[in-house]
Amino acid sequence: MKNLQILYSLAVFGLVFFLYSCGSSGRSGATGWNYNDSENGGFEKPPYIEQETGPGLVLIEGGTYTMGRVEDDVNFSWDAQPRRVTVSSFYIDETEVTNLYWREYLYWLKRIYGDSYPEIHRNALPDTLVWREKMEYNEPFIELYLRHPAYDDYPVVGVNWLQANDFCAWRTDRVNELILVREGLLVHNPSAQVDEEHFTTDSYFGGQYEGEKANDGLTDLNPLSSGYRNVRMEDGILLPRYRLPTEAEWEYAALGLIGNSYQELITNRKTYPWNGHYVRNDNSGDNYYGTINANFVRGRGDMMGVAGALNDNADITAPVYSYPPNDYGLYNMAGNVSEWVMDVYRPLSPDDKSEFRAFRGNNFQTKVLDSEGYLAPKYDYVVYDIDGIQAYLETYKKLAQSRLRDTDLNLLDNVNSFLTGAQEDVNNNNQEEAMYKVQEGIDAIKDSESTFAPDLLDGVSEYVLAQPGELRKRDVTTAENIDRRNYRKSDNINYLDGDFESSIRYTDPSYEEKDARMYDWGVTTLVNDKARVYKGGSWRDRAFWTIPGSRRFLDERQRTATIGFRCAMHRVGSPVGIASE
């Protein structure tokens, strides 16, 4: 056995040495020319071993499993039919995102955008009013839960799906910025990062970030260059994006079947993220024998047990490292808070999704280029959803009609006139002028003496689509995908479930696709393209919802006191890591 271990160590060392030697002075197996040689043109093959694990993440080794329902469908929703799928290896947060992390995010936004674009900071604020219930006294949580240090390590709640995605993007940029500082390539200078001049991974790769450099950069072996360059994707130094996990990934990670397998056999099925079919710890040799395994409602009116023996020790949420982790080392994959995932909800998604990396919600985009084919300049203004703002103001005016004075009505009409002009500019492909007009409408709200101005500012701030410093992106078009077989249009959310072909009108040639609505949202259903899946049980749910296969949905702009999230990241290269091969 010892000799085998020695041979294994030598093999791993040889592999690493081979990779390094190929990267530093190797030769092309295709052409025979040397890599990393300026006399040969300078094509580089940097030394690379494997992906660095980002802060807070755990590697989830992928594989096949049966996704969906594992016990009775008590709601008779039939939206979680069992389906065999394969999930690639990926990373996911060890715990839910906490209040402390979210306050760190808010502080950064206020520091960067607070003076010029306060609506960006306002857009990221969690809705603390989600704690209110008509027949409960929860007012202390409104004031204390997000801000008080006693709740630092508790999961953030009151954030919607859009806010969770914005946090993931922010986290990507901060982690990659730190890597460049750590590697001695950038100088950390917070005072110089204001508005659009802050670091983003996309703007850095696109050559549009002009931060202070610690040195000239990496040596560029191209004989036609100035001798130095920025880090490129090909160097493997920066990490992929943080993002929300897909529904398939989240469910796979929650089940943790890696602890119930031998070779390729699953020796024991799981109902919950822990072994056994009980909600209590049934391991007689464990110090926690008999205790509840997660934070959920045990029964009517029983949120935490009896004084002197508080079983789950939490009336609302609990610190994110509470309760034993599952076999992947992940905490609170059952109970505490439900969690947003990437997917758009459809009742029949388990039947429609692919068997590999199952996901519904693709809307393919590409970076905007200028007339010469170079990346368009990054945004130096805020991009707003004009249609969304107009719909919001119309609804607000309707609901507050009896309380609005003439000055308030005049303000709304004034703002709408700016929005109408902005929409005309968008239709004429003049986005920048349009957004300045929207900003003028927002400034009119700020300058008014209306008592409704704070409400309007909060409402408008929720329709920020892009921030200064981000690269410009657009949906792909069918014209640029001529002869492409794998996809043609950008929006594939309705594919097989909501598009023209899947509607009852598919045989009627007089119906256009836009008229073939499969879901009558707001009349007979709440399912639409903005309905997002959330997984797992919460502190306010019964045990049924802690089963990983259960699924629910909510509009992407809605928030509750029971939904949080955790981030994920793609795993590049080997699914298990070189050290495990």
CA distance 345 to 336: 22
65 found inside a domain: yes
Residue 351: predicted pLDDT: 87
Residue 1: predicted pLDDT: 38
Point out the domain boundary residue: 466, 491, 524: 466
Give me the half-sphere count of Cα atoms (radius 13 Å) on the Cβ side of residue 23. Answer: 13
Q: Which two tokens stand for residue 299?
A: 């029964």
Co-location of 400 and 347 in the same domain: no
Compute the CA torsion angle 138, 142, 147, 148 (nearest 10 deg).
-20
Co-location of 406 and 323 in the same domain: no
203 found inside a domain: no
Q: How confident is the model at residue 401 (pLDDT cuts 50, 70, 90)?
A: confident
1-28: average pLDDT: 47
322 found inside a domain: yes
Co-location of 261 and 167 in the same domain: yes
Q: Return the SS3 of 51.
A: coil
Residue 513: predicted pLDDT: 58
393 found inside a domain: yes
Q: What is the DSSP letter of 57?
A: E
524 found inside a domain: no
For residue 359, CA distances in Å to 172, 427, 488, 568 come to: 22, 33, 18, 14
* pTM (two decimals): 0.92
The continuous run of DSSP H or E covering 58 comes out as strand 57-60
Co-location of 275 and 407 in the same domain: no
Statement: residue 7 has pLDDT above 60 = no
Statement: residue 511 has pLDDT above 50 = yes
Q: How confident is the model at residue 6 (pLDDT cuts 50, 70, 90)?
A: very low
CA distance 421 to 418: 5
Domain that holds residue 24: 2-40
Residue 231: predicted pLDDT: 94
Co-location of 335 and 408 in the same domain: no
Statement: residue 19 has pLDDT above 60 = no
Residue 12: predicted pLDDT: 40
Co-location of 277 and 336 in the same domain: yes
Co-location of 130 and 17 in the same domain: no
Q: Where are the beta strands (DSSP E) in 236-337?
A: 242-243, 261-262, 265-266, 305-306, 309-310
Co-location of 315 and 445 in the same domain: no
Residue 139: predicted pLDDT: 97
Residue 383: predicted pLDDT: 97
For residue 437, CA distances in Å to 117, 469, 524, 538 come to: 15, 20, 38, 43
Co-location of 280 and 390 in the same domain: no
| Residue range 475-494, pLDDT digits in tens | 999 999 999 999 999 999 99
DSSP characters for 458-518?
A: HHHHTTEEE-TTPPPEEE--SGGGTT-SS--SSB-TTTTTTSGGGSTTTT-TT--GGG--S
CA distance 60 to 94: 10
Co-location of 409 and 445 in the same domain: yes
Q: Are 459 and 367 in contact (CB under 8 A)?
A: no
Q: Are 339 and 96 in contact (CB under 8 A)?
A: yes
89-110: average pLDDT: 98
| Residue range 197-238, pLDDT digits in tens | 999 999 999 999 988 888 888 999 999 988 899 999 999 999
Q: How confident is the model at residue 11 (pLDDT cuts 50, 70, 90)?
A: very low
Co-location of 309 and 389 in the same domain: no
Q: What are phi and psi of 366, to 5 degrees?
A: -145, 160
Average pLDDT over all residues of the chain: 90
Q: Return the SS3 of 140.
A: helix
Burial of 523 (0-12, 13-18, 19+ CB in 10 A): exposed
Statement: residue 579 has pLDDT above 60 = no
| Residue range 309-333, pLDDT digits in tens | 888 889 999 999 999 999 999 999 9
88-103: average pLDDT: 98
The larger pLDDT score, comparing residue 413 to residue 8, is at 413
For residue 416, CA distances in Å to 145, 157, 497 come to: 37, 33, 36
Q: How confident is the model at residue 104 (pLDDT cuts 50, 70, 90)?
A: very high
60 found inside a domain: yes
| Residue range 142-193, pLDDT digits in tens | 999 999 999 999 999 999 999 999 999 999 999 999 999 999 999 988 888 9
What is the pairing mode between strands 563-564 and 338-344?
Answer: parallel
Point out the domain boundary residue: 466, 497, 524: 466
400 found inside a domain: yes
205 found inside a domain: no
Residue 578: predicted pLDDT: 66
Q: How confident is the model at residue 534 (pLDDT cuts 50, 70, 90)?
A: very high
Q: What is the number of structural domains in the chain?
A: 3
Q: How confident is the model at residue 97 (pLDDT cuts 50, 70, 90)?
A: very high
Co-location of 24 and 99 in the same domain: no
Point out the domain boundary residue: 434, 450, 466: 466
Statement: residue 10 has pLDDT above 90 = no
CA distance 222 to 217: 14
Residue 505: predicted pLDDT: 74
